[in-house]
Amino acid sequence: MIDRYSRKEISDIWTLENKFRIWLDIEIAACEAHAEKGLIPREDLAVIKEKAAFRVERILEIEDQVHHDVIAFLTAVGENIGPASRYVHYGLTSSDIVDTALSIQMRQSGTILLRGVNALMAALKAKALAYKHTPCMGRSHGVHAEPTTFGMKMALYFKEFERDRERLERAIENISFGKLSGAVGTFSNIDPALEAVVCAKLGLKADPISTQVIQRDRHAEFMAALAITAGTLDQLATEIRHLQRTEVREVEEPFQKGQKGSSAMPHKRNPILAERVSGLSRVIKANMNVALDNMTLWHERDISHSSAERVILPDSIIALDYILHRMIFIIENLHVYEDSMIENIGRTGGLYFSQALLLALVEKGLSREDAYALVQGIAMRVWKREGTLMELARKEPAIAGKIPGAEMDALFDMSAYLKNIDFVFRKAGLD
């Protein structure tokens, strides 16, 4: 991922320096396990641990000749160790190192992503509670439906990110596996007992069965957790972008001192942060398709997945981390315009009371079809600005004759729509 959309904490995990450091940790852990079994002399193990080192530049220089990154790595490390290097990588295949290291990188990244999700959930919960009873218009198909509260909107996303967190936790658990099972998973040149020992040293579990590689359903599941979380972020960003439209202006993302919105129009305050979240979420979601394709490998392994993973895994992880932190900033500093929310509720002449009026007529003995036709008839006139729904209902004999004045007044009380907000919050665990 380009630096513009990267945070150092997580992008450092995907540097060559860190990758090769993990490779070396795995090789040393394997040597230690061999030594415990008496397969490597203790004095040679001591030399390996003392002298094992690498320079990224030297590895790349060798790789340019041999066209194999693991061989280049082993050669560079061996140059520093000397004769004892003959025990490094003993009985292993390249993917024993590469796939086990990749699991570690993904687990490290997942831990950071979880912290981001938790921070965003905390920000959403704070907003949900602060605006729990702040009325705003609910919309379906982009059209006014019935009133809700802004706190309800925030609570909804809190719960969705809670599910995202659960998915990410499961994905981290299922990617936290290593393998040291050799060229086709049969342990042909390594003691099978060493795999669990080495994996435990690295904080991993041994994959129950593998080929030359760890099966890519694990990686696809991890990518799915990233993609779904990106989808939630996109949905929240889209909500903010709509509510910031000039005609709506119920919320606004932070606009900092000195910020400029347009090279041509000095008045512009655009939702660029939310738009950036939406844009990068598309990259992550698109990469999910590649992860699914990577599940299909020839027999015990081919290398078609490798080049793709070198792009989609770090890019998706770093991008998700970035947009999580952008959204945390947006939510924590969101401008909420309660007056605009009230103004927008009244913009459609009380049309949102149509269902209450319909049900009241049904309770008075009308068929649902007849009641629907009556209410729809006056509602269409409200759209034409001939009056409010209450005004036209009072003037319609077939309605006014069924519902007396005081009862009509009670029907057109917005608080009835919000009477169960506390119940919803309790049900969502936000009381």
Active-site positions?
141, 262
Cα 102 to Cα 50: distance, rounded to the nearest angstrom: 25
Cα atoms in the 13 Å half-sphere on the side-chain side of 248: 18
Shortest CA distance to 229 belongs to which of 333, 329, 118?
A: 118
Strands, E assignment, 150-220: 177-178, 205-206
Structure tokens at 2: 């380009």
- 417, 152 in Cβ contact below 8 A? no
CB burial readout 182-197, b (16+ within 10 A) else e: bbebebeebeeebbeb
List the end-to-end C-alpha distance of the chain, in Å, as a whole number. 40
User: 184 by DSSP, 3-state: which?
Assistant: coil
| DSSP class of 81 | H
- 428, 151 in Cβ contact below 8 A? no
Strand 251-252 to strand 205-206: parallel, antiparallel, or no bridges (unpaired)? unpaired
- 329, 340 in Cβ contact below 8 A? no
